[in-house]
Amino acid sequence: MSSHAVMHAPVGGRLLTPAFKALLAAIAVGAAAAAWRFAAGIGAVSNLSDGYPWGIWIGIDVVTGTALGCGGYAIALLVYVLNKGEYHPLVRPAILTSLLGYGLAVLAVMIDLGRFWNLWKVPVYFWRWTHSPQLEVALCVATYVAVLLVELSPAAFEKWRKTGSTALRAWSERGLRFMDRALIWILALGLLLPTMHQSSLGTMMLLPATKLHALWFTAWLPLLFLVNAVLMGYGAVVLEGHLAARAFKRPLETEMFARLGRIILWVAAGWLAFRVITVAGDLPLVASGIGVAFLVEVGLHLAVIWLLASEVRRRSPGQQFRAAMLLVVAGTLYRINVYLVAFNPGSHWSYFPAVPELLITFGIIALEIAIYIAAVRTFPILSGHPQPEAAR
C-alpha cells in the first residue's frame, strides 16, 4: 500500500467554482422534486403505471448507472486477476466512480419504491424472496457499496495520517495495515458481487418473456448484461480520465488508454458478435420501427470497434475520447432498449417520463459529479507525480 501512496495526490483548489454552483442548483431542484415525491406519493411526480412499473429511475439511474459504475470491477479484473499491474493508477479513481454509481443507484431505488419504508425487511426477511432475482440484485448492490467504501478507505487514511491529530494518525496507520492484510479478501468480494448482480439485471428481463421484443429477448441476457457492464466500465474509466485531466490540468494517461483500447476492442467485438448471433433468427425484424433502435445500437458498437481497430487512432487522445463516449452511449442505449424501449406490456399502456422524474434523475447525476469533484480535490485519488520522501 505504501508504494501506492506516492502515486495519488489531492487535486486541491477552490471548490465553489461557477460550474460547481450550477451542479448545486441542479441538485436543489432534484431534491425539491424528490421531496414532493415523498410528500405526495409516487403517482404525483411520475408517469409510472401497472404496465410500466419501472421508468427512468430504474432504467437509467440503476440499470445504466451501476454499469457505468463497473469501472472499478473492470479495472480490478485486469490488475488483480490478469495481473496487469500497469493499470494500477486507474484503480482508485475507478473505485470512486463505482462507489458513486452504485451509491446513488441505491438512492434511486428508494425514490422508486412505493413503500420505501419497508426496505429494511429485504435483508432481515430475505427467505421470503429467495425465488426472485431482485433479491440477489438488492443484497449484492447494498453489500457492494460497503465493499467499495472499504476499498476506497486508503485514500482517506493516507490523508488523515498527515493531520496534526495523534489519535487520527494512529487510527489511519492501523487502517492502512488492516487494508494490507485484508485486501485479497476485499478484492474477492469486490469481484464476486458485480458478477452476480450485473448478470441478474439481465435475468430479471427474462421474466417478461413475450413482453420483450425478440431482437432483445434471449436466454443469454445474463451473460450479455455482465459483459456489457465490463465494456461500459472501461468506457467510463477512459472518459473519467480524459475529463479529469482536462478539468484539473493533470497529465493524460494516453499510452495506458491506448493499451486499454486494444483490450476494449476485442471485448467489444466479441460482445457484439455474440449479441447478433443470439438473435440471428429474428434479424428480419429489423425492418420495422423498433428495428431502428437495434440498428443504432449495433452501429454505435461498430463505430467503437472501427475507432479502436487502428493503432494510430488508439494512440490519439481525441479518438480515445470519442471511442469511450460512443461505448458509453451504445451500452446505455442497449440497457434502455431492454428495460424500456423493447418492453411492451400491451397496446393500452404507454410511458414517457414526467418532468419531475427527469428533474430527479438530473439531480442524481449532478450529485454524483459534485461528490466526485469534492472527493478528488480533497483526497489522494487521481494519480500524480511521486513526491519526495521528505514531503510525505
Q: What is the pLDDT of residue 257?
A: 94
Alpha helices by DSSP H, 17-117: 18-40, 56, 63-68, 71-76, 91-112
Give the type of residue at 149: L
Q: What is the pLDDT of residue 3?
A: 45
Of 291, 341, 301, nearest to 325 by C-alpha is 301
Cell 487510527 belongs to which residue? 171
Distance of CA 34 to the CA centre of its chain: 22
Cell 413482453 belongs to which residue? 211
Q: What's the DSSP call for residue 119?
A: T
Q: What is the pLDDT along the chain (392 residues), one digit of tens a residue?
A: 444 444 788 888 888 999 999 999 999 999 999 999 999 999 999 999 999 998 999 999 899 999 998 988 999 888 888 878 788 888 899 999 999 999 999 999 999 988 888 888 988 998 888 888 888 888 888 899 999 999 999 999 999 988 888 888 999 999 999 999 998 899 899 899 999 889 999 999 999 888 999 999 999 999 999 999 999 999 999 999 999 999 888 888 899 999 999 999 999 999 999 999 999 999 999 998 899 999 999 999 999 999 999 999 999 999 999 999 999 999 999 999 999 999 999 989 999 999 999 999 999 999 999 999 999 999 999 876 544 444 43
Q: What is the pLDDT of residue 388?
A: 46
Q: What is the pLDDT of residue 5?
A: 46
Strand partners, 383: 8
Q: What is the pLDDT of residue 385?
A: 53
Report pTM: 0.89
Please state, in angstroms and rounded to a whole number, the distance separating the CA atoms of residues 375 and 307.
32
CA distances from 29 to 35, 42, 44 (A): 10, 17, 16
Q: What is the pLDDT of residue 390?
A: 43
Q: What is the pLDDT of residue 137?
A: 86
Q: Which three cell numbers stand for residue 212?
A: 420483450
Of 139, 75, 141, nearest to 104 by C-alpha is 141
Q: Is 128 left (phi over 0), alpha (psi -120 to 50) or beta?
A: alpha
